[in-house]
Amino acid sequence: MWRISNIRAPRVVVAGIESGVGKTTIAAGLMAALRRRGLNVQGFKVGPDFIDPSYHTAATGRPSRNLDTWLLSKSKVVSLFKRVMLGADVAIIEGVMGLFDGISGRSQTASTAEIARLLKAPILLVIDASRMAGSAAAIVKGAKALDKGLRIEGVILNKIAGEAHAKMCGDAIERFTKTRIVGAIPYNPDIALPERHLGLIPTHERGEIQEKLEAISRFVKKHIDLDTVLEIAGKAPRLSSVSFEREKIADDEERPCIAVAYDEAFNFYYWDALMLLEELGARLVFFSPLHDNTLPEGAAFIYIGGGFPENFAKQLSENWGMINALKKAVEDEMPTYCECGGLMYLTRMIIDFDDNKYRMVGVLDAETRMTRQLTLNYTLANTIRDNLVSEIDEKIKGHEFHFSAIENIPKDARFAYKMIRGKGIVNGMDGWILHKTQAQYTHLHLAANRKRAEKILAAAKKSARR
């Protein structure tokens, strides 16, 4: 048992008043600029997003972590934060959507505001000031009045037209709200991060990311007072002690190998979930469905997360070595767990936005069609069949986020989950089960419930002994 007391953990939340105000660019720029000062910076993202944390990781050199009170209990969020902060000098926590946007209009569950309260973290409020001046004060005053328990300690004005514009906004905010202006950033399309149908393009696909982050870092350093940011972060109160225990890890030859798909096409994973599998005794070996022809030697379990297989469908379809290896592994009853992009990859084909058809692994007798309809939900499901991660009647929480649909599903297809909240694959069902394979649209956070990771490990150990 490890016990660490009196954690300092300087921290600040970068929150937006709405989506699209530039939170990710500013948060990543702050992380990169502070790292260049020689600090160990830890990035966090509020919510279930996989893409924004990839920019944090590139900026800090430390894996970014998700803080989400739908996927994880409040106590797990706090303990995760405290544990990850060991060895870090400062945390930059990027919010999700607007500051108060949660799971519903009646609840702030899973909102940035809830995370800020849980962690007792001061807030830097980012405002797109491009179409306002003195009215910016009303926004800040309203945010502070809506929840007086929050500590909005500073404002960053984004997309300002010049010094006179910044002064008009800043004078009004300081006069009516007594809140400091920490930065005023001119509009600059050269530092904007590129987007596509699911949001920003992950850093795994962007070879020039360090060059881009360097440019953003320089721009942020010029227009944001980093000393004030650190001063505000340093005012966060100390956190109580954290206790955790590490499993006794077996020798490599006794640890089952879990093959994890990880490349440009598949990279949506929660780092804490992967670390939990390792701590429980798994040996994680990463492989690429795009570039490798075979599965890792000794693989006993396959884990294919989400990503953008639709953007790499041609390359995936041409890698027959990997397609055949995966098909044989599934048909030979190797336990295989897939989420979203992994589900799509196991179908017969992906039909892209332009109706081009690309053959995939084909173990699931259906097709994936890309659509213009966004499916975006936090999910809740009841387990109706024992499966790789949950047991009958167990409720599971997750999220779904995609622009695709699974078509021509056999009538006798078996499913693990009945959706209570969310869409699933078809008719409110999710978790397609075939052989010892489970494929679903729902993304789970394995660290939410230790028993889920333990079930995966047990399946891997059993498979390794065959």
CA distances from 333 to 322, 325, 344 (A): 17, 13, 19
Both tokens assigned to 155: 């404002």
pLDDT at 196: 44
pLDDT at 6: 63
In the chain, CATH 3.40.50.300 covers: 2-242
Both tokens assigned to 356: 């081009």
Q: Which residues pair with 15 in a beta bridge?
A: 125
Distance CA(255)–CA(249), nearest Å, equals: 8
pLDDT at 464: 94
Query: Which of the residues 169, 257, 338, 340 is marked catalytic?
Result: 340
CATH class of 2-242: alpha beta
Between 40 and 8, the higher pLDDT residue: 40
pLDDT 10s digits, 68-97: 999 999 999 999 999 999 889 999 999 999
CATH, domain range 252-464: 3.40.50.880
Q: Taking the mean position of all CA atoms in its chain, how far away is CA 158?
A: 24
Q: What is the mean pLDDT of residues 284-296?
A: 98
Split at pLDDT 50, 70, 90, the class of 237 is very high
Split at pLDDT 50, 70, 90, the class of 247 is low
**List of residues 6+ apart from 98 with CB closer than 8 A:** 15, 16, 17, 18, 19, 112
pLDDT 10s digits, 313-322: 999 999 999 9
pLDDT at 404: 97
Q: Which residues pair with 413 in a beta bridge?
A: none
The verdict on whether 338 is a catalytic residue reads no
pLDDT at 401: 94
Nearest CA to 348 out of 407, 267, 414 is that of 407
Nearest CA to 158 out of 186, 182, 139 is that of 186
**List of residues 6+ apart from 399 with CB closer than 8 A:** 48, 70, 71, 377, 378, 379, 422, 442, 443
CA distances from 294 to 33, 265, 297 (A): 41, 16, 8
Split at pLDDT 50, 70, 90, the class of 208 is low
The four Cα atoms 49, 54, 59, 61 give a dihedral, to 10 degrees, of 120
78 and 119 in contact (C-beta within 8 Å)? Answer: yes
Nearest CA to 308 out of 230, 370, 376, 237 is that of 370
Residue 206 has pLDDT above 80, yes or no: no
* pTM over cut 0.85: yes
First-to-last C-alpha distance (Å) of the chain: 34
In the chain, CATH 3.40.50.880 covers: 252-464
Q: What is the mean pLDDT of residues 10-23?
A: 94
Residue 200 has pLDDT above 80, yes or no: no
User: What value does the mean pLDDT of the chain take?
Assistant: 92
pLDDT at 348: 98
pLDDT at 249: 57
Q: What is the mean pLDDT of residues 142-163?
A: 95
Q: Is 269 exposed, middle or buried (0-12, 13-18, 19+ CB in 10 A)?
A: buried
Split at pLDDT 50, 70, 90, the class of 199 is very low
Split at pLDDT 50, 70, 90, the class of 396 is very high
Tell me which range, 7-11, 187-191, 427-431, is most confidently predicted by mean pLDDT.
427-431
449 and 420 in contact (C-beta within 8 Å)? Answer: no
Q: What is the mean pLDDT of residues 412-426?
A: 97
Residue 171 has pLDDT above 80, yes or no: yes
pLDDT 10s digits, 300-354: 999 999 999 999 999 999 999 999 999 999 999 999 999 999 999 999 999 999 9
pLDDT at 466: 79
Distance CA(109)–CA(86), nearest Å, equals: 26
The four Cα atoms 401, 402, 403, 408 give a dihedral, to 10 degrees, of -120
Q: Taking the mean position of all CA atoms in its chain, how far away is CA 194?
A: 18
Split at pLDDT 50, 70, 90, the class of 205 is very low
Between 192 and 239, the higher pLDDT residue: 239
Distance CA(371)–CA(385), nearest Å, equals: 29
Q: What is the mean pLDDT of residues 183-189?
A: 91
Nearest CA to 182 out of 92, 102, 113 is that of 92
- Concatenating the DSSP letter of every residue in 258-279 gives EEEE-SSSEEE--HHHHHHHHH
